[in-house]
C-alpha cells in the first residue's frame, strides 16, 4: 500500500515538479504517513482529516485542483511555507473563499462546514 500511496502523490505544475523526484524518494524512504508526508516548504492538502487520504502539495498553488485530482476534496491542510495561502470554491482563484492559512497553519475542516470538500483553486497570497 505504501508504494501505491507514493504513486498517487500529485504535484502542482511549475516549480514543484522540479522537486518531484527528490520529494517522492524521501517519502518512500521514510515511509511517511498522514501529516508527515507533507514536505517542508510546501502547502499540502489532503482528502481526509489529519493528513490522511490522497494528498497534493504545492509551492505556489493551482488554478484548477482537478489537474491534481483534488477538486472538491480538501478536508485538511498543512501550510509548511512562510506565506499566507488562500483557497477558493471556483477555478482560477474565483468564487467564495474556502479557507485562508497563515504560515505554518495546519487544520482539519469539520465535515459540516461549508469549506469541507469545496476547494477548487488555491495559491500563496
Does the protein bind Ca ion through residue 47 (CB under 5 A)? Answer: yes
List C-alpha distances in Å: 74 to 19, 26, 29, 47, 62.
22, 23, 26, 5, 13
Of positions 27, 68, 75, 76, contacts Ca ion by CB under 5 A: 75
User: Shortest approach of Ca ion to residue 61 CB, angstroms?
Assistant: 19
Angle of CA points 93, 82, 55, to nearest 5°:
60
User: Shortest approach of Ca ion to residue 18 CB, angstroms?
Assistant: 28
Does the protein bind Ca ion through residue 73 (CB under 5 A)? Answer: yes
CB–CB of 76/50 below 8 Å? yes
Residues 6 or more apart in contact with residue 4 via CB below 8 angstroms? none
User: Shortest approach of Ca ion to residue 84 CB, angstroms?
Assistant: 22
Q: Which range binds Ca ion by CB under 5 A, 1-9, 27-35, 36-44, 66-74?
A: 66-74
Does the protein bind Ca ion through residue 101 (CB under 5 A)? Answer: no
Question: Which parts of the chain fold into alpha helices (H)?
Answer: 2-8, 15-18, 20-30
Number of residues that bind Ca ion (CB under 5 A): 4
Here's the x/- map for Ca ion, 5-44, by CB under 5 A: it reads as ----------------------------------------
- Rounded to a whole number of angstroms, the distance between the first and last alpha carbons of the chain is 35
Instruction: Report how far residue 125's alpha carbon sits from residue 107's, in angstroms, rounded to the nearest whole number.
Output: 18
Does the protein bind Ca ion through residue 68 (CB under 5 A)? Answer: no
Positions in the binding site for Ca ion (CB under 5 A): 47, 73, 75, 117
Amino acid at each position: 500500500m505504501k508504494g501505491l500511496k507514493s504513486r498517487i502523490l500529485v504535484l502542482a505544475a511549475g516549480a514543484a515538479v522540479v522537486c518531484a523526484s527528490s520529494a517522492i524518494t524521501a517519502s518512500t524512504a521514510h515511509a511517511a504517513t498522514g501529516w508527515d508526508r507533507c514536505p517542508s516548504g510546501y502547502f499540502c492538502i489532503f482528502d481526509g482529516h489529519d493528513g490522511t487520504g490522497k494528498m497534493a502539495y504545492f509551492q505556489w498553488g493551482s488554478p484548477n485542483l482537478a489537474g491534481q485530482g483534488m477538486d472538491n476534496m480538501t478536508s485538511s491542510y498543512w501550510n509548511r511555507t512562510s506565506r499566507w495561502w488562500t483557497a477558493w470554491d471556483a477555478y482560477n482563484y474565483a468564487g467564495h473563499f474556502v479557507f485562508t492559512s497563515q504560515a505554518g497553519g495546519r487544520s482539519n475542516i469539520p465535515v459540516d462546514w461549508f469549506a469541507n470538500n469545496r476547494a477548487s483553486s488555491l495559491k500563496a497570497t
